[in-house]
Amino acid sequence: MNLLTLIKMQLNVSFNWSALKWYAKHDKKKILGGIALVIIVIASLAPLYYFVAVNFFKTVFLSGYSLGQPEFVLTFAIVSVSMLVLIFAIPFIMAIFYFSRDLALLVPLPFWPREIIGAKFITVVIQEYLTVLPFMLPALYFYGTGVRAGLYFWLVGALITLILPIIPLTIISAAILVLMRVTNLGKRKDLLRYLGMTLFLVAVLAFNYFVTQLETLSQEEIMKLIFAREGLASLVSRAYPPALWATRALTAQGAAALLNLALFVALTLVGIMIMLFLGDRLFYRGLIGGDEVTARKDISSDRLAKGMSQVSAPAWAIAKREIKVLVRTPIYFFNSIGVILIAPLAMFLPLIWGNALEPILTMLSAVRPLYLNLGAAASIALVAAFAPAASTSFSREGKQFWLSQVMPVAPREQINGKIIYSLLLSLLGIPLVFLASVLLFHWNIQELILISLVGICLTLPSITVSLLIDLLRPYLTWPNPQVAIKQNLNAVFAMVATGGLYYLTYQFAMYMMHRQFSDLLIYGGVAAFALLLAAIPYGIMVRIADQRFREIIAP
């Protein structure tokens, strides 16, 4: 009974049920605004999802179907979604199990550790459906309608979709429970978080490597697989064997189907049991280690004197504060700086592993330098645009926002500090361009300077529009930093708005090229256009900042 209460409470807190009910009763405007926002997000992402993901699954189904292997789309979706859950849930599980603020409240209550772990695990599973459904629904739909499947298929399909994220989540949970206890690094919470993130990075690259190895099979091997029964499905499920059981549970006949379903469900249950067993034995010990405080190190008088004499202008002090907090909070670090560094690696490494670089370089050598240079400048901006550093800048202040409100620094100057910090982060993309120059494109120094300058100008619209969005609706009441940056709709809105601004910039560049302006004029024009686009959200921010700083209620 207690366990049910705990689960209910965890679900309530995770999905803000009570708050939603309260607003529905007392502040209808707010709830309607929230619903409208969700609709806007879905509406802005739906076309992209339809054209990219749905059509992709249709193509996968048709390709498999034409080879007599229609089930391939199911295995492909199950493997993809399981790998995604496996990779992306690592920091999530770490944050929910070990760094939630409610743990200080829950641990002294009369619950077994397995009950706390179990209740938190259920909330994670439910949140993972956001990853599972976009993959499984089109795969089930195309297969089910394509082979005219019966009721059994749809029922088992629903069951498998519901339990699909559990196996990868139990694997991660068990690994994290063991890691927290065995390595005994609990007192260094941040080190652990970085370790988790490194695991995440290794998993991403391993996944990439796996995918590229699939592409580099010899012609003979590919032919063999194409014509073998369940050949493609067996190949893809090598990365995640339970996927084959799930596929067979959906596609086989009679007892074979039931046997495979039983295997898949049994493995899911075993995963849960192992996790709960480990939870009972390891959770509290790892957790209590996390609350131990390290011995204080005395600060030397020299360091103290030096530290006390460092003076900065307020805007620069704010930029420094933002950078320090970002770098020292692993979740923030990984999601902003990590993205800037990992995204290009994740793009390049598969090309190198897959021996695909050479043909691409040959193709690019025929491209007009102007296009290539503008593309490189755009990549600096795009990489920065994917990092939610600016779009969650106000939100990340959370309960500390009161400091920004009481300090005698004009909101405009505080915004300037945040722009400086965001710009400094985006400069991290420039060394990557230099690296690409050394390894691939061999740009001369003038070109490198030009690319960097245009790149910096192009990052500014993304920074100012992202800050504006976050200033308009800062999310300050987050329970842990993971939520502040990963479950913050402002990051999605900022990406959509940035996409719009970059589309306008692209159209402007195309117009200039069409009118056959000189290359230099085009570079200058694109940079000036970007600065103009950046100035608009900046101007709005400056106009509303004083009022917004007064209106926002710090939690």
Residues that bind other proteins (CB under 8 A): 26, 293-294, 296-299, 303-305, 307-314, 316-318, 320-321, 324-325, 328-329, 399-400, 402-403, 405-410, 546, 550-551, 553-554
Closer of 309 and 446 to other proteins (Cβ)? 309
Q: CA-CA distance, 268 to 265, in Å (whole number)?
A: 5
Closer of 69 and 404 to other proteins (Cβ)? 404
Residue keyed to tokens 């240079």 = 373
CB of 10 to other proteins, least distance (A): 24
166-182 and 72-98 helices cross at what angle (nearest 10)? 40
CB of 405 to other proteins, least distance (A): 5
489-514 and 369-386 helices cross at what angle (nearest 10)? 170
| Cβ contact 146:240 at 8 Å | no
Closer of 198 and 400 to other proteins (Cβ)? 400
Q: CA-CA distance, 169 to 175, in Å (whole number)?
A: 10
Which residues have CB under 8 Å from 73's CB, separation 6+? 57, 60, 61, 64, 139, 142, 143
Counting Cβ atoms within 10 Å, is residue 204 exposed (0-12), middle (13-18) or buried (19+)?
Answer: middle
Which residues have CB under 8 Å from 484's CB, separation 6+? 392, 395, 396, 398, 475, 478
Closer of 311 and 445 to other proteins (Cβ)? 311
CB of 301 to other proteins, least distance (A): 9
Closer of 329 and 379 to other proteins (Cβ)? 329
Q: CA-CA distance, 350 to 435, in Å (whole number)?
A: 17
Closer of 133 and 313 to other proteins (Cβ)? 313
CB of 325 to other proteins, least distance (A): 5
Closer of 329 and 505 to other proteins (Cβ)? 329
Counting Cβ atoms within 10 Å, is residue 436 exposed (0-12), middle (13-18) or buried (19+)?
Answer: middle
Closer of 185 and 351 to other proteins (Cβ)? 185
CB of 475 to other proteins, least distance (A): 16
| Cβ contact 389:329 at 8 Å | no
CB of 386 to other proteins, least distance (A): 23
Closer of 295 and 366 to other proteins (Cβ)? 295
Closer of 93 and 318 to other proteins (Cβ)? 318
* Torsion angle of the four alpha carbons 318, 496, 457, 504, in this order, in degrees rounded to the nearest 10: -150
CB of 547 to other proteins, least distance (A): 9
| Cβ contact 60:51 at 8 Å | no
Amino acid in the structure at residue 278: L
Q: CA-CA distance, 339 to 362, in Å (whole number)?
A: 28
CB of 33 to other proteins, least distance (A): 16
Closer of 213 and 312 to other proteins (Cβ)? 312
| Cβ contact 242:267 at 8 Å | yes
Closer of 185 and 325 to other proteins (Cβ)? 325
CB of 326 to other proteins, least distance (A): 9
| Cβ contact 69:231 at 8 Å | yes
CB of 176 to other proteins, least distance (A): 21
Distance of alpha carbon 193 from its chain centroid, rounded? Answer: 16
CB of 189 to other proteins, least distance (A): 8
Q: Is 475 helix (H, G, I), strand (E, B) or coil?
A: coil
* Torsion angle of the four alpha carbons 247, 250, 252, 258, in this order, in degrees rounded to the nearest 10: 110
| Cβ contact 494:462 at 8 Å | yes
CB of 56 to other proteins, least distance (A): 41
Q: What's the token pair of residue 43? A: 């509406």
Closer of 99 and 441 to other proteins (Cβ)? 99
Exposure string of 219-257, with b = 16+ CB inside 10 Å and e = fewer, is eeebeebeeeebbbbbbbbebbebbbbbbbbbbbeeeeb
CB of 328 to other proteins, least distance (A): 4
- How many degrees, rounded to 5, is the angle at CA 189 between CA 185 and CA 191? 70
